[in-house]
Structure formats: structure tokens, C-alpha cells
Amino acid sequence: MEKYLVVSVLGADKPGIANALTTISSENSCNVVDSRMAVLGGEFAVIMMISGSWSSIAKFENSLKSIAKKLDLITMVKPTEMPTYRSNLMPYGIQVVALDSPGIIKEISTFFASQDINIENLQTDAYKAPHTAAPMLVLNMTVNIPVNMHIADLREKFTLFCDDLNLDASMEPMKGHL
């Protein structure tokens, strides 16, 4: 019976961390089911879900402790389950571009929480605008909208919300999303 484990890893950015993690997964007969890896500042951050038998997962956890010590990594693991796909939800992609200021991400997440809409994935990037060097933010996320929710009403509320905060935004159905 397949077991699942979510693994979070953080350490100074250097070559070989992703390779070490995927190697111990493979060597212990585990499969990387899903993962996100990124350099944030000078740190390399990983979150991944692996699957395997109970004994494979246990061996992976022991190997992870050794790799973490060798590469000076902070790790956290948590058993989980394979996600169940619910046909009563529609995935939508949201993109927001705006002048960066503290609280924008909180405001956007609060809007969707107030509509009882789950955020499945959220990614942000800050950058300097060409020519002006103004601090900018781009936010991309996937939300799961209940099928019984009226999309036109939600889109209107979201547009008004974005207009009030001077955010340039789009909301489109995800195509080919599982």
C-alpha cells in the first residue's frame, strides 16, 4: 500500500541539493509525486511529496537525516495522503500585477477566503519596473471555485476588489488542469 510524505527542506543555495534529495528518493524506492524548488534570496527551498511503501518511506527519512546533516539543511516531514480530486470544483488561474507594497498578498488571499474559495497554488515575484525602477509584484495562483458559484458574479466582485486596490488582474479557467 502506497504511503505519502510531504518533505520540506531549506538551506543555503549551493549545487547538488536537488540531486541529493532525488537520489535518496530513488535509492530508497520512493517516487517524487509533486515538488516545488526555488532559490529565495540566498536560500534554496524545497517542498515535495514522495510516495512509497511504509519501509521505503522509513528508509528515505533516515537517509534524509544524513543528507541534512552533511549539507547543513533544515528539514521537516509530515505523513499525508494522495489528494482526492473533486469534480465539484473548477480550477481558475489568477494573475495580479501591481506596484509592490506590504499587505497586497494578504488582501488578495483574504478576498478569496471571504468567498470560501481555496487557494491551491500561489507564487509571487517582486521586480523593478523597466525604465522607472518602481517596485512591482506579480502574483500567479490557482484557485478552486465551487461549480455552484456564479462565475460572472465572482468575476465582478474580483474586478471591483482589484479596481479599489489599483491592481491589474485576470481570472481565467485553467485549461488542461487535472
Q: What is the pLDDT of residues 43-78, one digit of tens each?
A: 999 999 999 999 999 999 999 999 999 999 999 999
**pLDDT of 176:** 67
pLDDT value, residue 84: 76
β-sheet bridge partners, residue 126: 137
Considering only CA atoms, which of 45, 66, 36, 48 is closest in space to residue 6?
48
What are 7's three cell numbers?
518533505
Once rounded to an integer, what is the mean pLDDT over residues 149-158?
A: 97
Q: Tell me the three state secondary structure of residue 62.
A: helix
pLDDT-based confidence at residue 144 (cuts at 50, 70, 90): very high
**What is the model's pLDDT at position 83?**
75
Tell me what percent of the residues of the chain surpass a pLDDT of 70.
98
What is d(CA 92, CA 174) in angstroms, rounded to the nearest whole number? 5
User: In DSSP terms, which residues pair with 92 in a beta bridge?
Assistant: 143, 173
* Complete domains list, the chain, with CATH: 3-80 (3.30.70.260), 89-173 (3.30.70.260)
Query: Could you read off the pLDDT of 63-117 as tens digits, one per residue?
Result: 999 999 999 999 999 999 987 777 889 999 999 999 999 999 999 999 999 999 9
The helix or strand, by DSSP H or E, that contains position 107, with its residue range, turns out to be helix 104-114
Specify the pTM.
0.82
List CB contacts of 49: < 8 A, sequence separation 6 or more.
4, 5, 6, 7, 32, 33, 34, 35, 80
The residue written with cell numbers 469534480 in the block is 87
Length of the chain: 178
**178 has a pLDDT exceeding 80:** no
